[in-house]
Amino acid sequence: MTRNKLKLGIFGFGCVGTGLYKVLEEAESVDATIKKICIKHPDKPRPIDKKYFTTDKNELLYDSEIGVIVELIDDADAAFAIVSEAMKNGKSVVSANKKMIAEHLPELVKLEKKYQVPLLYEASVCASIPIIRNLEEYYDNDLLTSVSGIFNGSTNFILTKMIHEKLSYPVVLQEAQAKGFAESDPTLDVEGIDPKYKLCIILFHAFGLITKPESIFNFGISRISDFDLEFARQRNFTIKLIARCNKNNNEITGLCAPTFIEKENTLAHVNYEYNGVILKSAFSEKQLMIGKGAGDKPTGSAVLSDISALTYDYRYENKKYIHLNKQLKLVDTKIYKVYVRYPDPFSGFNDFDSIEEQYSSILGNYLIGHICLRKLAHSSWINDTNINVIFFS
């Protein structure tokens, strides 16, 4: 098969953009060259010749020689405008922007169909793990029942350090930021918002379901205390920020929250900046994929993988979405087993279907009970920063 020679226009040259440049330089098998890079700050020191850079987006979007736009910026709204215009101009697009994709999936699917151009975004979910391509190709006819795992390398790095090295959350967060695993404002990572965006994309490729990010419950790791960590150690658990979705007949459940994982569980051994994804299906049963989920080269390699696929005119077929069972829907009525650490007084006891354990001491109080996800998400106490919630796997 003849491969296309590609000229790239890149938006953004931060961590991922620099990573892409590095892996593109080393990957001699991919016939793609960078023609122009659009940036915000022209005076910032860069590792390559200044002739590549511009602050004018039109130099990329309207250059007929540029066949592929690679979008690697932080601003989701600006990214959507860039991607939309590129597709309207007949250009293929590669993106790593999970927020933009999760929030605009319906529009992006329509643009793909109308302008008959591919949009690939493997780097938007779990960096170096080729989860989207696998869901599109390997699992296109398999009866998937669930996808779950560690979708955020930054929080996994933080939790690993807190649990295994007994370091405090502020200390580990600072280290994660210094290593480039966490942003200066870490909210998207540590509050479980980033993996929620990724879960939206997974839901689309696993089951064909498009859902709004705000429809999925997320809870982060910033409230985890020494008290919670000691509880985990005593029960032989570790704690991971887990994103999960399950299909039961026509109902889909999904959430992202800190979760107690038994030490025998495979995900308990996925540590530091690594991600791990478990897929369960009727035919192939259970499969595990592990790879680096943070850092410039792992994410850059996923972007490069999409660029390489475009040299063969690859595109997502979105079969599950096209043939979607119209009765399929996201529900929040499932009952989950959770641990809640709370201060006195606590007003949430009546929200639980049942409470199987309760403990009080001068060091802290907790309960273990079963609660409907909808009740938990809309409870009067969930936003109290003195209260922490951890799910059981």
Here the CATH number for the domain that contains residue 162 is 3.30.360.10
Catalytic residues: 198
360 and 220 within one domain: yes
309 and 229 within one domain: no
202 and 351 within one domain: yes
Domain assignment present for 38: yes
Q: What is the pLDDT of residue 118?
A: 98
Q: Has residue 328 got a pLDDT over 80?
A: yes
Q: What is the pLDDT of residue 139?
A: 87
Which residues does residue 37 pair with via DSSP β-bridges, in sequence order?
10, 53
175 and 123 within one domain: no
119 and 137 within one domain: no
250 and 186 within one domain: yes
160 and 211 within one domain: yes
In one-letter notation, the amino acid at residue 33 is T
160 and 109 within one domain: no
DSSP letter at 122 equals G
201 and 85 within one domain: no
How far apart are alpha carbons 294 and 187 in whole angstroms?
16
How far apart are alpha carbons 147 and 287 in whole angstroms?
10
Output the 3-class SS for 129-176: CCHHHHHHHCCCCCCEEEEEEECCHHHHHHHHHHHHCCCCHHHHHHHH
Model confidence over 238-292: pLDDT tens digits?
999 999 999 999 999 999 999 999 999 999 999 999 999 999 998 888 999 999 9
Q: What is the pLDDT of residue 171?
A: 93
284 and 361 within one domain: yes
β-bridge pairing 217-218 and 251-262: parallel
Mean pLDDT (whole number) for 29-58: 93
CATH number of the CATH domain containing 71: 3.40.50.720
Domain assignment present for 45: yes
Q: What is the pLDDT of residue 26?
A: 86
Domain total for the chain?
A: 2
Query: For residue 309, what are the domain limits?
Result: 6-127+297-322
pLDDT-derived band at 1 (thresholds 50, 70, 90) equals: low
Q: How far is the CA of 344 from the CAs of 128, 231, 362, 365, 387, in angstroms?
A: 45, 19, 10, 8, 10
Q: What is the pLDDT of residue 362?
A: 95
Model confidence over 151-167: pLDDT tens digits?
999 999 999 999 999 99
- Report the predicted TM-score, pTM, of the whole model to 2 decimal places: 0.96
99 and 205 within one domain: no
Domain assignment present for 174: yes
pLDDT-derived band at 47 (thresholds 50, 70, 90) equals: confident
Q: How far is the CA of 62 from the CAs of 41, 85, 261, 356, in angstroms?
A: 21, 9, 50, 63
Domain assignment present for 48: yes
Q: What is the pLDDT of residue 274?
A: 96
Domain assignment present for 1: no
107 and 22 within one domain: yes
Q: Has residue 309 got a pLDDT over 90?
A: yes
Model confidence over 183-226: pLDDT tens digits?
878 999 999 999 999 999 999 999 999 999 999 999 999 999 99
- Asked whether the bond before 258 is cis by omega within 30 degrees of 0, the reply is no
- 3-state secondary structure (DSSP) of residue 50: helix
For residue 102 the two structure tokens come to: 């999760």
Domain assignment present for 222: yes
> Within a 10 A sphere around the Cβ of 321, how many other Cβ atoms?
16
